């Protein structure tokens, strides 16, 4: 393998280890963020339930007010029954009284239904609050675990960052610039092994002539498909 390529292969191995470390840190933080988001969602659900309970209470008060007014109207119509002189007037008053009683009964049924719904929601709110309290406690514990885990991971990363810096210094500046550019454009993989004529970066075949040149190990070559810098190193079990 070309000496310059050897340097880049070593550099990439270090960079991939650093990428894995960064992914671990991100995974730890994302898991915690998901728990915190779940807390916020539960808190919002509780707030929504509380608003619903308040709305039901208002509806119940409105219905109670209507029922009281209609009951007063029924009593007033019943009092006037003693004063009417004609059968037609009595019939009209009786209809008003019956309609009023029916309306009062309907309101009472609605009030009972609202009370039952409200009681169920209140029980749900208490359940959600208890769950929220327990989850908050767990999240506080999780925060400390994540902080400790990230701190430990970062210690390892500092050592790798130093190793990376030292390795980058032995690479020619022009090659390092090309390497960094390719890493940014090719999902972190700037150099790729070629096995049996196939680039392991894009899994496309190299032209036979270029592959034969690569096997000689003298020149610095690029994959014509993905433009990664390529090398040939057989797997350990084939050496």
Whether the predicted pLDDT of 239 surpasses 60: no
Give domain limits for the chain: 19-169, 174-238
3-class secondary-structure state, position 222: strand
Which class is domain 19-169?
mainly alpha
> What confidence tens digit (pLDDT) does each residue in 70-125 have?
888 888 888 887 777 788 888 888 888 898 899 989 999 999 999 999 999 999 99
**Residue pair 202/166 in contact by the 8 Å Cβ criterion:** no
For the purposes of burial, counting CB atoms within 10 Å of the CB of 155, is it exposed (0-12), middle (13-18) or buried (19 or more)? exposed
Of the listed ranges 77-86, 133-142, 149-158, 222-231, the least confidently predicted one is: 77-86
CB count within 10 Å of CB 157 equals: 19
Local confidence band at 238 (pLDDT 50, 70, 90 cut-offs) = low
Whether the predicted pLDDT of 237 surpasses 80: no
**Residue pair 144/32 in contact by the 8 Å Cβ criterion:** no
**Residue pair 222/228 in contact by the 8 Å Cβ criterion:** yes
CB count within 10 Å of CB 57 equals: 13
> Who wins on pLDDT, 100 or 198?
198
**Could you say which DSSP state residue 154 is in?**
H
* The pLDDT of residue 88: 84
Distance CA 14, CA 167 (A): 9
Distance CA 177, CA 182 (A): 9
- pTM for this model (two decimals): 0.66
3-class secondary-structure state, position 81: coil
Nearest-Å Rg of the Cα atoms of the chain is 39
Distances (CA, A) of 216 to 41, 124, 208, 233: 61, 73, 13, 11
> What confidence tens digit (pLDDT) does each residue in 49-82 have?
999 999 999 999 999 999 899 888 888 888 887 7
**Residue pair 191/198 in contact by the 8 Å Cβ criterion:** no
């Amino acid at each position: 393998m070309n000496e310059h390529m050897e340097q880049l292969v070593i550099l990439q191995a270090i960079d991939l280890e650093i990428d894995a470390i960064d992914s671990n840190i991100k995974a730890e933080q994302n898991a915690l963020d998901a728990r915190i988001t779940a807390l916020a969602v539960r808190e919002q659900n509780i707030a929504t339930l509380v608003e619903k309970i308040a709305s039901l209470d208002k509806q119940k008060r409105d219905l109670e007010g209507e029922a009281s007014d209609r009951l007063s109207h029924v009593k007033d119509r019943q009092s006037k029954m003693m004063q009417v002189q004609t059968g037609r007037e009595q019939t009209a008053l009786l209809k008003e009284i019956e309609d009023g009683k029916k309306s009062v009964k309907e309101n009472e049924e609605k009030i009972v239904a609202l009370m039952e719904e409200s009681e169920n929601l209140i029980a749900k709110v208490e359940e959600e609050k208890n769950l929220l309290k327990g989850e908050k406690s767990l999240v506080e514990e999780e925060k400390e675990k994540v902080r400790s885990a990230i701190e430990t991971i970062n210690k390892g990363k500092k050592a790798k960052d130093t190793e990376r810096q030292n390795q980058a210094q032995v690479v020619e500046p022009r090659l390092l610039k090309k390497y960094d550019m390719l890493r940014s454009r090719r999902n972190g993989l700037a150099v790729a092994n070629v096995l049996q004529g196939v680039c392991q970066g894009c899994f496309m075949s190299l032209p036979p002539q270029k592959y034969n040149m690569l096997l000689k190990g003298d020149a610095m070559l690029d994959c014509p498909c993905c433009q990664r810098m390529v090398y040939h190193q057989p797997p350990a079990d084939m050496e």
